[in-house]
Amino acid sequence: MQRICVDMDEVMADTLAEHIRRYNQTFDEEITPEDLAGKGLWLAAPQDRQAQLRAFLDAEDFFEDLPLMPDAQEVLRDLAARFEIFIATQAMVVPNSLGPKYRWLQRHFPFVPPAHYVFCGDKSILRADYLIDDQPRNLNLFQGRGLLFTAPHNVEVTGYTRVNNWQEVAAYFAGVE
Amino acid sequence: MQRICVDMDEVMADTLAEHIRRYNQTFDEEITPEDLAGKGLWLAAPQDRQAQLRAFLDAEDFFEDLPLMPDAQEVLRDLAARFEIFIATQAMVVPNSLGPKYRWLQRHFPFVPPAHYVFCGDKSILRADYLIDDQPRNLNLFQGRGLLFTAPHNVEVTGYTRVNNWQEVAAYFAGVE
């Protein structure tokens, strides 16, 4: 059985939506994901708001209740019947996210056993056939086949096999034995 | 540069010492590591104390202040100059351990970057050349070369390359390019 590693933030969870929500609320702005094409919130925000951007992530409750990406649950549940699914998330840059991420996965993806969660940093450590991730740098480190999951920050990136949403993930793996 | 994954519990941290300490204190016993040869605390304790054995691990503070295994810091610091060191620990069975384990590693092994921490379950996910672990089942899942780190529960296990302590780890890798 082939193994697929799946990134959490901006792939399974709409982390960006929650980041934008807190940003807009705090700074009385009306930024939308479309405004962030090719850069993401970090590059879009002025220098004197970077510390606050980071502080949003460090808040104890940030990762507790992130919205789901559309179709992530349904498609992953189907894939779990044909592939070994591991969740591989960069949790070490925000240690406060460790507990919340664990609880979020248990709540929304109960069909993936906790033994298949991987909270890591450098994704070169993953031994798997596929990695679905929104960060080109993670795909570069990964030794298997990478799929770039579209996010505002990566829309202008080329040179990767791209999946725009979970329906496209399903279609991609429909053709994989 | 070759990559070594190192398990935490009973390899870097003397988790068993703390487990025994709480057990003896709670049940007014005087168990020593030597009493546990070939079985470990779980098999040595009577059935009606298993729930409490587990509860010790789930306590918020259990993993906060574990004693270090002798020479672990010095040997790993030396190895870090010649090998890529990753810490790979089964943290998912005790989710309360996630934060404490992160802090413990930062405090005692500051020369290993958090990007090289891997909190996982199934160690078949690790892409590395070596794994040092006290659990035969982890070594069985691992695809690289396994070293069995001696612990009371595994003293009777055969069929693995065994290292009895950190000085033997140093000696083993002295012969590896």
Contact list, B88 vs chain A (CB under 8 Å): 125
**pLDDT higher than 90, residue B174:** yes
What dihedral do alpha carbons A136, A140, A144, A147 form, nearest 10°?
10
Distant-in-sequence, close-in-space partners of B156: CB < 8 Å, separation ≥ 6: B37, B38
Residue A124 in contact with partner chain B when CB distance is under 8 A: yes
Interface touch B98/A102, C-beta < 8 Å: yes
Cα distances (angstroms) measured from residue B175 to each of A59, A60, B73, B169, B170:
47, 46, 20, 10, 9
pLDDT on residue B132: 98
Query: Which residues of A are catalytically annotated?
Result: 7, 9
B161/B158 Cα distance (integer angstroms): 9
- Name the percent of chain A lying above pLDDT 90: 97
Indicate the pLDDT class of residue B177, thresholds 50, 70 and 90.
confident
pLDDT on residue A154: 97
Question: N- to C-terminal Cα distance for chain A?
Answer: 9
pLDDT on residue A142: 98
Q: Where are the beta strands (DSSP E) in A68-176?
A: 84-90, 117-120, 130-133, 145-149, 161-163
Q: Is B7 a catalytic residue?
A: yes
H or E stretch covering B162: strand B161-163
Mean pLDDT over residues B147-154, rounded?
97
Whole-model pTM?
Answer: 0.95
A118, closest residue in chain B (CA to CA): B120
Cα distances (angstroms) measured from residue B57 to each of A16, A177, B15, B39, B97:
35, 41, 9, 18, 8
- ipTM for the complex shown: 0.95
Q: Domains in chain A, start-ordered, CATH in brackets?
A: 3-14+66-174 (3.40.50.1000), 15-58 (no CATH)
Q: Is B58 a catalytic residue?
A: no
Residue B121 in contact with partner chain A when CB distance is under 8 A: yes
Burial class from Cβ neighbours inside 10 Å (0-12, 13-18, 19+) for residue A159 reads exposed
Helices (H), chain B: 15-27, 40-44, 50-58, 72-79, 98-108, 136-141, 166-174
Mean pLDDT over residues A83-110, rounded?
96
Residue B116 in contact with partner chain A when CB distance is under 8 A: yes
* Minimal Cβ distance to B92: which of A95, A114, A121: A114
Q: Computed over its alpha carbons, how large is the radius of gyration of chain B?
A: 16
pLDDT on residue B175: 86
B13/B101 Cα distance (integer angstroms): 10
Q: Which of A3, A31, A42 is nearest to A135 (CA)?
A: A42
Indicate the pLDDT class of residue A69, thresholds 50, 70 and 90.
very high
* Minimal Cβ distance to A121: which of B116, B125, B127: B116
Contact A169, A153 (CB under 8 A): no
| Mean pLDDT estimate for chain A | 96
pLDDT on residue A35: 95
Residue B107 in contact with partner chain A when CB distance is under 8 A: no
Separation in Å, CA of A175 to nearest CA in chain B = 24
Mean pLDDT over residues A134-154, rounded?
97
Q: Which DSSP symbol is given to B19? A: H
Interface touch B127/A127, C-beta < 8 Å: yes
